[in-house]
A and B are shown apart, each in its own frame.
Chain A
């Protein structure tokens, strides 16, 4: 006659349960077998017998950390304990992750501030997305990934990871490194996979154990024997998986933290350099020369190489660049590195990385303007404004002077306020003040590239007209330093190692005991019970006992 113990599995979890979700307090620490257990232990360290609860119950045992107590379960008085218990709780961890998830989702409803084509988010969101957009901006969702809230969440997850790992890793280590082989029959019969079988008279018990141990060894179990008890174990490494992956995450988060708090660890700048020009890189002691920036298109004749609407597709952006450093003695520029920079192939020197980020063909660099007296039709002189470094004032013929009152490199109206979309001179606009001997008071005049403004300045005596644009190709380079990258990627690597350990190995243990003419078998795994059952059945088959470990046709509830 045999008893199938395994009929509650659908209610009981496939993995061990954290006590916080349903464990209880207990007073008893001394087991019937005589062993004294530390406070909080649920299964006797020595024989595995349950120490608490409805001893009569035949529910499968909670095997988490083999019943070892965790700090968070035993210490609950001081404020340190409370903080510790808060952060060690999986329930809290789940909430933290869920909140992060929800915030990330909200953060994708509208584009984030960093990518909008406007320097004035306060107006932009309202204008483009209406009331909802305004709300989005005011609630702080438009830049939520840089918000203190998001940082605090990440920090809390980090703390929680450290605390929960410390809380659990010690009892786990103790439990796994100090396993007793002989277990109480109660322990064996109350495993999720378990079988009690009277041994036939004609069978030799020693031989039976030997055969079983041989069969299990073939399945690559590590076997230990003590008297008439066996403990077969494999894949213990799987149990360390979560801890390794959490350590990886902690390292990753530390990397993120360091790049924020360490001065000089993180740089995110950009420069535009015209063909042939040399420019100092922001924040670092290097100079860059754009020898030539090019854009290559796919062959238009090949129909496959066209985009859908027949427009040419860009094949390559490249900047031939030379990097210099200033010699402190002579003050001269010395070449440090030379080579092409293209998308996916940044230039690297030390921690500094230069990326091909932008390409502007025929970009306006400067404009030439002509001042004309409308009355006399006299041309009073031409002046040139460098759009990236405009001089404040220009002196012309006959004592005329033009002063720049306001300059918008990339002009737009936001509401009824003029402003600039970017620092790139895509649509330069000026407010000038013209003064001269023939004017009683200074005249104001507007100039917006590509717009006719004759009406606005109708009353003016002098007009300012565009005569010529000076253009050049220029390349946009990103200037990056991120010293925490090695830490971040190491963290991620460790995370992956942990995941693989946890998910591709399974910690399986099989306890066997021969007692009073009965064979007790109990088995436990941290995941994938079907595999365990199959292995057990196959092993038993070899010994001549065909035992079934398959669960009954079960129903929930």
Chain B
């Protein structure tokens, strides 16, 4: 059973990857033999079918995991992120059947690949539930949130496409929009960098640990990546040598005191460095900026249509997110903790996400907020979601951080 479950997820991962490739083929292929339209149609259909098979396998994984663990697999970072990936794919498929824009797949599917890879960085074992999570609301609340966020993520991707299109079609390569757009793409590369580095270090079985004290109690902090930065005022217990480096390069500042703060800072530094290196390599070999690289994929799109797709995805995601992230969250919090809202960091960021998208919707009521500004808002909203997923879970501990 467990084997089957792992294979299902692995297969899903590869199908997402193949789907990405098919979509890229669909929008870039020259296709002299059959003609552009036929070629695009053919590969687009292949991409879609591959995505649907991937999604089905992903659902299979989820079902087996429920059978094994007896609870809905949304109880830790791995499970939640994997489910978010599935939601993104599902939301994409729905949106595809409304608008039938092939290019969208060429951007959403790689995001799904990154998300699933990111998920697998976290411990994947099935673990027992602490008492607070033992409720059917775990399944209801968290899945609804994830589905909502999946749709909002598709809104983000469409927004990103709009920006690439806007810069490219108008030849606005030296505008601030172009610069910020490149920045967003580099941020995504950092996420990729994090996944790659985690993969490399864990493949090598890398280990390092430090001794230091937190609140006057001695603690040992484990690192999974080569320590560039060590905890403040700490002693090395063990550092595997890697690429000739065997000592941390510097020490964390004294105000960074939390129990695992230095390790997290170390991970962030690695993500930034590897993201920048990846970016540097891409620039070096392709001799083009990232958005210039992506522009040919989107050059034929109608801006107004892309804007509507982005809005539509958000208009689907917003009510679902409200239901899951606010209403179900309140009902469950009321049952489990005796208060329906406690301004716990995680709750707070759900509120912030919700307020952000409320602002988006209200601004769209006004002239001049469609298109460019609106697309930036959709990108910003996704940044808030990712902040919630990555930063709040890892950095700010609260009742909700169970991973």
Contact partner, B304, options A9, A98, A108, A495, Cβ 8 Å? A9
In the complex, B311 has a CB within 8 A of chain A: yes
In the complex, A130 has a CB within 8 A of chain B: yes
- Dominant secondary structure at the B interface: helix
Query: A108-B392, A132-B255, A346-B335 given as contacts; is B348 within 8 A of A304 (CB)?
Result: no
CB distance from B314 to the nearest CB of A (A): 10
A-B contacts, CB under 8 A, total: 164
Contact A344 B132 (CB under 8 A): yes
Contact partner, B396, options A108, A344, A493, A531, Cβ 8 Å? A108
List the one stretch of A208-216, A227-235, A308-316, A401-409 in contact with chain B.
A308-316
A 174-214 contacts with B by CB, 8 A: none
B-side contacts of A268, CB under 8 Å? 339
* Docked CA distance A111–B358 (Å): 26
B126 closest partner in A (C-beta): A304
CB distance from B307 to the nearest CB of A (A): 8
B-side contacts of A551, CB under 8 Å? 302, 304
Contact B327 A101 (CB under 8 A): no
Contact A496 B134 (CB under 8 A): no
In the complex, B158 has a CB within 8 A of chain A: no
Query: Using a Cβ–Cβ cut-off of 8 Å, how many residues does chain A contribute to the interface with B?
Result: 75
A-side contacts of B334, CB under 8 Å? 485
A-side contacts of B308, CB under 8 Å? 14, 528-530
In the complex, A105 has a CB within 8 A of chain B: yes
Query: Using a Cβ–Cβ cut-off of 8 Å, how many residues does chain B contribute to the interface with A?
Result: 68
CB distance from A86 to the nearest CB of B (A): 16
Contact B131 A556 (CB under 8 A): no
Contact partner, B371, options A10, A316, A343, Cβ 8 Å? A10
Query: A90-B365, A104-B355, A343-B131 given as contacts; is B338 within 8 A of A556 (CB)?
Result: no
* Docked CA distance A145–B128 (Å): 34
- Dominant secondary structure at the A interface: mixed
* Docked CA distance A101–B99 (Å): 33
B 337-374 contacts with A by CB, 8 A: 337-340, 342-345, 348-349, 351-352, 355-356, 358-359, 362-372
Query: A14-B311, A101-B355 given as contacts; is B123 within 8 A of A308 (CB)?
Result: yes
List the one stretch of A15-23, A381-389, A428-436, A510-518 in contact with chain B.
A15-23
Contact B371 A556 (CB under 8 A): yes
CB distance from A273 to the nearest CB of B (A): 16
Contact partner, B349, options A108, A111, A499, A556, Cβ 8 Å? A108
* Docked CA distance A105–B392 (Å): 11
A-B CB contact pairs (8 Å), 23 listed = A14-B308, A17-B367, A21-B367, A94-B362, A97-B355, A98-B359, A101-B355, A104-B343, A104-B351, A107-B348, A111-B398, A305-B128, A314-B130, A344-B131, A344-B132, A346-B335, A492-B326, A492-B327, A503-B315, A503-B316, A503-B318, A527-B311, A555-B303
Beyond A344-B131, A530-B99, 14 additional contacts (C-beta under 8 Å) are A9-B304, A21-B366, A90-B362, A100-B355, A105-B352, A128-B257, A304-B125, A316-B131, A353-B338, A357-B337, A482-B340, A495-B322, A496-B319, A503-B318
Q: Which 6 A-B pairs have the closest CB atoms?
A: A343-B131, A355-B338, A499-B319, A101-B355, A21-B366, A478-B338
